[in-house]
Amino acid sequence: MHFMSAEHKESVVEHVIQIRTELDKTGLGQRLMTYWRSKESEYNGKYRVIIVGALLMRTGAKIEESDMQHLRELVPQVKCHCHTILPTCDQGFCRPGRAQFLAALDNYKPGEPRSFEEPSCYSCGKIEADLGKALMRCGHCKGIWYCDKECQKAHWEIHKPTCRVLGKFSSWWA
């Protein structure tokens, strides 16, 4: 996450700790998960449960193992468009978000806030904290990230159509 200053970072960290404490101490996190799971059959209900799971992970709140497993089972049920870049063009996951959420489920540790802001591998979804090393940008477009050459090769067929277009704008984020 990008912070405006060291004070801003400290303030955000303190706020996240306060939220996690309330979610865990009062059982609100579990109640939120239970409530939204009861609404899964509604329009975009499954995606809303996933969003609640992501928000709980963002704070480092406790999540029951049965809910973690349920979140894993929901992911394939939510529509995903491989070539969608803008979230406004989708009613569910865009592909990197799906991979990042699955990696978050696999690497989540209660009490440790999970970052969804930092770059993640577009193939496997892992972040620097999962890998213990920095991710690398696509050499051509510089608009997406990979953890290694294997993930880059595995993702190439999906990325290839957009790489050339993104490459024209690489000066925006390089």
Are 151 and 126 within 8 A, CB to CB? Answer: no
Q: What is the pLDDT along the chain (174 residues), one digit of tens a residue?
A: 566 788 988 999 999 999 999 999 999 999 999 999 999 999 999 999 999 999 999 999 999 999 999 999 999 998 776 655 555 555 567 778 889 999 999 999 999 999 998 899 999 999 999 999 999 999 989 889 999 999 999 999 989 988 888 877 766 665
**pTM surpassing 0.75?**
yes
The two tokens of residue 165 are: 């277009």
CA distance linking residue 16 with residue 11, whole number of Å: 9
Question: CA-CA distances (angstroms) from residue 97 to 51, 90, 116, 153, 168?
Answer: 11, 11, 9, 19, 23
